[in-house]
Amino acid sequence: MIKRESYMKKIRPFINSDLVKVLTGIRRCGKSVMLDLIKQELLQQGVTPQQLISYNFENMSFARLCNAQTLH
């Protein structure tokens, strides 16, 4: 995985803030890779894996969560 340090440098100041963060981009531009990099950084800072949640909605095992009521 490419580290993408220039992007991480821009993201780091917001990691521990109360702001809601939204990562957007066209398909296949690296959004999931960036989220994995942020996840790795959080784990290095002492966040436990149990504190992190991620779902891949293209994985059919999560198909039941594809409506707002069920996800909530």
Residue-wise DSSP of 16-35:
TSSS------STTSSHHHHH
Reported pTM: 0.78
Query: What is the pLDDT at residue 3?
Result: 84
Query: What is the pLDDT at residue 1?
Result: 78
Domain containing 61 equals 5-71
Query: What is the pLDDT at residue 58?
Result: 85
Query: What is the pLDDT at residue 71?
Result: 81
Q: Count structural domains, the chain.
A: 1
Query: What is the pLDDT at residue 14?
Result: 94
Which segments in the chain show pLDDT lower than 70?
none
